[in-house]
């Protein structure tokens, strides 16, 4: 059975000081995204960053810096975050997705704490001024995704622009919230769940939690595809478990900066290659972008000029 490898290229959690390989200049984001696609990623989960400072950005101009290059150089599914960074308002987070109308975007199924401050505890030479306070103040940060917000994204991105969603579920309650929207008739087409594990504020990365999320989904949804990402050091372990269970996987520097214990990944492609080796050893082969499109009912590739 084909496995959809998603790769989350840069995200909004890690900061440049944590790894020299975390891409934030548009040309680096594009190059790593294209490399990840070549290595076997069918879906590229994308965030923008300020090209000068690496700070997470919602600006359509910053997105514009890499979308054309990626979309013209590979046929991977471009999945634009609507989560942006937890410090942005929803209107900010939606500006670029509304502008570029991608075939897929992420959608977080609940409001939650998003606590990055433990990452600021380790002494470090900070490359940019914004990094440490950005992390430290996350102790008072609410990542707001209310039912009204969710309904709005479903309407504006889904109904109006034809996107399908990577439904990011950080805990059991998020699955029930998604079911609530299914019951309200607001969710259309194949359901693609992303179990997000290991963020402080969400469910921890423990195998029994993955099983519980999966069993809950089986009860709530007659049919669905699911993927898992474990933030941090258990990334590959959870990818292996998901692959063994028949799920899909997400890797990438957004979720984990390392390739193995103590060894930074030099690129997103390195993580894709590694997970590809594991899934192939388990007898599964990576879905192509078009196979992922068929499985998830996507509207199709778009090349941005």
What does the binding site for its own copies look like in residue numbers (CB under 8 A)? Answer: 110-113, 115, 117, 139-149, 151, 170-173, 176-177, 180, 200-204, 207-209, 211-212, 214-216, 218-219, 236-238, 240-241, 243-245, 260-261, 274, 277-278, 281-283
d(Cα 166, Cα 172) in Å, to the nearest integer? 16
Please identify, using beta-carbon distances, which residue of 196 and 289 lies nearer to Zn ion: 196
CA-CA distance, 44 to 41, in Å (whole number)?
7
Which of 131, 168 has the CB closer to Zn ion? Answer: 168
How would you class 124 by CB atoms within 10 Å of its CB: exposed for 0-12, middle for 13-18, buried for 19 or more? middle
267 part of the interface to Zn ion, by CB under 5 A: no
User: CB of 252: closest distance to Zn ion in angstroms?
Assistant: 9
13 DSSP assignment: S
Torsion of CA 232, 238, 239, 242, to 10 degrees: -150
Minimum distance, C-beta of residue 45 to Zn ion, in the bound complex (Å): 6
Q: Which of 294, 205, 271, 291 is nearest to 10 (CA)?
A: 271
Q: In whole angstroms, how close is the CB of 102 to its own copies at the nearest point?
A: 25
What's the closest the beta carbon of residue 270 comes to its own copies, in angstroms? Answer: 12
Closer Cβ to its own copies, 71 or 267, answer by number: 267
CA 31, 35, 38, 44 torsion: positive or negative?
A: negative
Beta carbon nearer to its own copies, 228 or 253: 228
Please state the separation of Cα 173 from the chain's center in Å.
19
**Interface residues with Zn ion (CB under 5 A)?**
11, 81
């Amino acid at each position: 059975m084909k496995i959809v490898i998603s790769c989350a290229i840069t995200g909004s959690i890690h900061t440049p000081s944590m790894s020299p390989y975390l891409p934030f200049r548009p040309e680096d984001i594009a190059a790593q995204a294209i490399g990840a696609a070549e290595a076997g990623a069918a879906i590229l989960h994308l965030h923008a960053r300020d090209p000068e400072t690496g700070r997470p950005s919602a600006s359509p101009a910053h997105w514009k810096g890499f979308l054309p290059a990626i979309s013209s150089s590979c046929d991977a599914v471009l999945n634009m975050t609507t989560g942006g960074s937890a410090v942005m308002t929803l209107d900010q987070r939606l500006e670029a997705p509304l502008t570029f109308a991608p075939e897929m975007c992420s959608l977080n199924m609940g409001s939650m704490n998003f606590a990055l401050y433990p990452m600021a505890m380790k002494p470090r030479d900070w490359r940019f001024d914004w990094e440490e306070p950005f992390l430290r103040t996350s102790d008072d940060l609410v990542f707001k995704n209310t039912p009204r917000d969710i309904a709005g994204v479903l309407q504006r991105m889904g109904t109006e622009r034809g996107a399908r969603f990577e439904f990011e579920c950080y805990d059991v309650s998020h699955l029930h919230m998604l079911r609530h929207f299914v019951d309200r008739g607001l969710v259309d087409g194949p359901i693609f769940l992303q179990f997000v594990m290991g963020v402080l504020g969400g469910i921890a990365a423990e195998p029994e939690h993955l099983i519980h999320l999966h069993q809950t989904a089986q009860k709530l949804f007659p049919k669905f595809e699911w993927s898992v990402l474990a933030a941090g050091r258990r990334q590959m372990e959870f990818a292996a478990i998901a692959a063994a269970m028949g799920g899909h996987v997400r890797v990438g520097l957004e979720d984990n900066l390392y390739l193995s214990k103590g060894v930074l990944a030099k690129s997103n492609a390195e993580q894709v290659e590694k997970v590809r080796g594991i899934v192939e050893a388990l007898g599964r082969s990576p879905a192509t972008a078009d196979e992922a499109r068929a499985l998830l009912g996507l509207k199709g590739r778009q090349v941005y000029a």
